[in-house]
Structure 1
Amino acid sequence: MTAHQNEPGPDALLTVEGLSKHFPVANGVVKAVDGVSFKVQRGSIVGLVGESGSGKTTVGRSLLRLIQPSGGRALFDGADLFALSNAEMRAYRRRLQIVFQDPYSSLNPRLRVEDILGEAIDTHGLAKGAARKERISELLVQVGLAAEHGRRFPHEFSGGQRQRIGIARALAVQPEFIVADEPVSALDVSVQAQVLNLLQELQAAYGLTMLFITHDLSVVEYLCDQVVVMYLGRVMEQGPSRQLFANPRHPYTRALLSASPVPDPKARRQRIVLQGDIPSPFNPPSGCVFRTRCPHAIDACAQAVPAAQTLGADHVVSCIRQAELA
């Protein structure tokens, strides 16, 4: 497999600034996402990575307004998605689509595949009659299925095939930007590579821009041009994929990478084992939210949220000790 076939374009299609999503609860607020900022260059794939509970899915769904963000901006082609009315946002939904994690629950079991794909086409008035039927057949073939599969129901397909249908549904409205939310994590390992290759082929063929949400760094290394590493609702490190994998500067990124499989059976990585579990977003640690599990934490880490430091070539780290750990 050859990674990074498409280099990022010269301009950002999506610029996220200070995105926050806080959920009110009985005794306070859960800060699921707290001041996240990053850019997605046009025609690139950005990997959003971190452990379960880091806020990755909340970021993706907030961008599409499937849940309402608490603060920040998301500039898509110059327009702030968070400032749009519901009617205005509906027009943008054709340009932004999502592929969900679970192919079993994301498809309506009562509809045939042709009706699932046709819903999006009908909603945006893209085709009717014979043109609509032809478009549905074309979509199925594009994702590696047969045109006659449109007459079947979701339960008649395997998990990998259902995810292909989910991808076809996202493509039905000819979007510019796709949020892929853990799209292969529910699939067998043998099927994951097929779906990843499909996504890469479609991205190259149609010039798609993609935010790929995952906890699997080996997938990110293969597929993504840029990486954004999240922990407990905040960005720890971000930068070009090759640079970040070659020279990770945040202790959390290093710990994640140390647990990632190495393709060379003779190569070995020194495993960094993090102690304890990720804290609750209801009561996050003061200062650096990673400090309670960081092997390099000092007293100063508890005093203030680390400022984002640019190391060059878009490599950004939020750690007060990153220079010492270089």
Structure 2
Amino acid sequence: MSALAKPAPHAAPDPLLVVAGLRKYFPIRGGVLNRVQRHVHAVEDVSFTVNRGEVVGLVGESGSGKTTVGRTILRLETPTAGSVSFAGTDLGFLGRPQMRAMRKRMQIVFQDPYASLNPREKIRTVLAHALSVHDIVPAREREGRVVQLLEQVGLSADYLDRFPHEFSGGQRQRIGIARALAVEPDFIVADEPVSALDVSIQGQVINLLQDLKDALGLTMLFIAHDLAVVEHISDRVIVMYLGRIMEVAPTRTLYAAPNHPYTQALLSAVPQPDPDRRPQRTILTGDIPSPISPPSGCVFRTRCPQAIADCASIVPELRPVSPGQFSACIRTAP
């Protein structure tokens, strides 16, 4: 099992979430008897912690397994192996009633704000439903709480009786955030919450999440495929590729001195307003391999510009390369 991705030195050593040796395989069935023939290796031996009050960015290309990690943490998917502990409780040992109570403390903001809202329900009903399911406030107080939630995300009570299609994408995502906040959670998985939005709106939503994190003391796993998106909201960043963690580092360290070749390639593609700060562009050739039959050894070796012969046989573990920074590369890690 890989070493746990330790928190940055400045972060309080108070883990709210501990993920250890997480694996998630999806069976592929076929044939006359519909038997399992192969598996999709979506997540492979992933371990990390998230401290209370911390925002951890989880970044990688499409198909890297980051969304599956988020869904498995919340038990929307059942892990194949490994464990997820939240506030000292191993979620794998919880039955359905206990897990339902735990979901009040763990919420998700989905990528597609329109698909995650019932198109037949007014926003008043959407938010009140979240309050009633978990019995957050008495029925007579729910109207006031719904208005408060809307105002908390920058919307007004004038929107209560509108349907989802009457809002812009950014407004719908604000409603999705308000729904997640309705149950007063300790932890939020933000699953690519700005990827479906215009660039001009992305910054507004990220700033909103940052303000809510500061005001409410939220702990967050912020999933994105773009390193530029997580830079200003994350305390630490985890970089994933084909189901495995490639690098973990405090945000400033990662952007100033990326260690893993994959991180370096991703950062080289991030636009820089200052031409003098722009690193030499690293072009990754080929497509990300299939998670049905991932490469042997280091899964990144088939696209890595620094790959050597040993990369085909050695599975690199996360090893420390600087304070708080861990890299899974046999060439760059000491």
Same fold? TM cut 0.5: yes
CA contact (8 A) 2:119 2:163 kept: yes
Counterpart position of 2:68: 58
Q: Which of residues 137, 141, 145 in structure 2 aligns to 1:127?
A: 137
Matched, 1:257 2:260: no
Following superposition, the deviation at residue 238 of structure 1 comes to 0.4
Q: Secondary structure at the match of 1:222?
A: coil
Paired AA for residue 14 in structure 2: D
Counterpart position of 1:19: 22
User: Cα RMSD between the aligned structures?
Assistant: 1.2
Q: Secondary structure at the match of 1:119?
A: helix
Following superposition, the deviation at residue 312 of structure 1 comes to 3.7
Q: How does 1:152-167 map to 2 (within 5 A)?
A: 152-167=162-177
Q: Which of residues 208, 222, 225 in structure 2 aligns to 1:212?
A: 222
Identity %: 61
Q: Secondary structure at the match of 1:195?
A: helix
Counterpart position of 2:96: 86
Q: Which of residues 313, 317, 330 in structure 2 aligns to 1:320?
A: 330
Counterpart position of 1:36: 46
Q: Secondary structure at the match of 1:161?
A: helix
Take 1:267 and 1:317, find their aligned partners in 2: how far apart are those partners? Answer: 23
**Cα displacement string for residues 45-81 of structure 1 (whole angstroms, at most 9, x for unaligned residues):** 1000000000010000000011111111111111112
Q: Which moved more, 1:124-133 or 1:281-290?
A: 124-133
Q: How does 1:278-289 map to 2 (within 5 A)?
A: 278-289=288-299
**Cα displacement string for residues 121-142 of structure 1 (whole angstroms, at most 9, x for unaligned residues):** 1111111233111100000000
Report the count of equivalent residues.
318
Q: Which moved more, 1:127-136 or 1:224-233?
A: 127-136
Matched, 1:183 2:186: no
Counterpart position of 2:314: 304
Q: Which moved more, 1:279-288 or 1:145-154?
A: 145-154
CA contact (8 A) 2:191 2:224 kept: yes
Take 2:179 and 2:332, find their aligned partners in 1: how far apart are those partners? Answer: 43
Paired AA for residue 310 in structure 2: A
**Cα displacement string for residues 162-210 of structure 1 (whole angstroms, at most 9, x for unaligned residues):** 0000000000000000000000010111111111110000000000000
Counterpart position of 1:148: 158
Paired AA for residue 99 in structure 1: V
Take 1:81 and 1:314, find their aligned partners in 2: how far apart are those partners? Answer: 27
Q: Secondary structure at the match of 2:231?
A: helix
Question: Which consecutive residues of structure 1, in runs of 5 or more, have no partner in the other structure?
Answer: 1-6
TM-score, L = length of structure 1: 0.95
Take 1:203 and 1:75, find their aligned partners in 2: how far apart are those partners? Answer: 21
Following superposition, the deviation at residue 266 of structure 1 comes to 4.7
Counterpart position of 2:4: none
CA contact (8 A) 2:132 2:139 kept: no
Take 1:9 and 1:201, find their aligned partners in 2: how far apart are those partners? Answer: 20
Following superposition, the deviation at residue 225 of structure 1 comes to 0.4
Paired AA for residue 241 in structure 1: T
Q: Which runs of 4+ in 1 moved over 4 A?
A: none
Paired AA for residue 20 in structure 1: R
Take 1:69 and 1:129, find their aligned partners in 2: how far apart are those partners? Answer: 37
Paired AA for residue 96 in structure 2: N
Q: Secondary structure at the match of 1:163?
A: helix
Q: Secondary structure at the match of 2:232?
A: helix
